[in-house]
């Protein structure tokens, strides 16, 4: 298995733990997937002043593969007891556990602080929108960025 420098399960798990700590109620995999992407690329969505993961032209291609990484990270968080999976009528949702809150409070890096601040701004900006609406909007932005980046003859 090749070693990865970025987007490891550990890195994704830490971001999701912070995200779940910011939320006051359980969230689905797809909502977390969309909000995590928007939080790391907040400037792209006109929500924050900078993109936490930097400016790059391939960010939307990252979105397509990120869902599986988020799913794997959530499994790890549940296995370690930092997150609880709740079986609701309309599917599974995730909520941070008290151990997860304790661990999250120990995260004091500049990135963790900025991620938390950006997550709060993103969550506030998308209040009332469904996960499907968010994912659809991200996909539309992705298609638009591909059209804008095509070389002209």
Model confidence pLDDT, tens digit, residues 34-49: 999 999 999 999 999 9
pLDDT at 46: 94
Q: Quote the number of domains for the chain.
A: 1
Whether residue 153 lies inside any domain: the answer is no
- pLDDT of 15 higher than 80: yes
Residue 3 included in any domain:
no
d(CA 71, CA 10): 12
Using one digit for the tens of pLDDT, what is the confidence trace for 128-152? 999 999 999 999 998 887 776 554 4
1: three-class secondary structure by DSSP = coil
Does 71 map to a domain? yes
Asked, for residue 88, whether it belongs to a domain, the answer is: yes
DSSP H helices in 49-130: 59-79, 98-105, 110-125
Longest Cα–Cα distance in the chain: 58
3-state secondary structure at position 147: helix
67 with 138: CB under 8 angstroms?
no
Q: Between 2 and 17, name the one with better pLDDT.
A: 17
pLDDT digits (tens, 9 = 90+) for 85-107: 999 888 999 999 999 999 999 99
Which range of residues forms the domain containing residue 120? Answer: 9-148
What predicted TM-score, i.e. pTM, was given to this entire model? Answer: 0.90
């Amino acid at each position: 298995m090749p070693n990865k420098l970025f987007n490891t399960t550990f890195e994704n798990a830490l971001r999701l733990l912070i995200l779940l700590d910011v939320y006051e109620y359980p969230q689905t995999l797809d909502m977390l997937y969309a909000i995590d992407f928007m939080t790391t690329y907040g400037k792209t969505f006109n929500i924050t002043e900078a993109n936490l993961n930097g400016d790059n032209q391939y960010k939307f291609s990252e979105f397509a593969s990120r869902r599986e990484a988020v799913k794997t990270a959530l499994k790890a968080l549940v296995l370690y007891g930092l997150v609880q999976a709740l079986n609701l009528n309309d599917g599974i949702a995730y909520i941070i556990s008290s151990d997860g809150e304790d661990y999250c409070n120990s995260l004091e890096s500049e990135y963790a602080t900025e991620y938390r601040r950006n997550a709060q701004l993103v969550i506030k900006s998308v209040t009332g929108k469904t996960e499907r609406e968010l994912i659809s909007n991200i996909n539309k932005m992705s298609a638009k960025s591909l059209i804008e980046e095509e070389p002209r003859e």
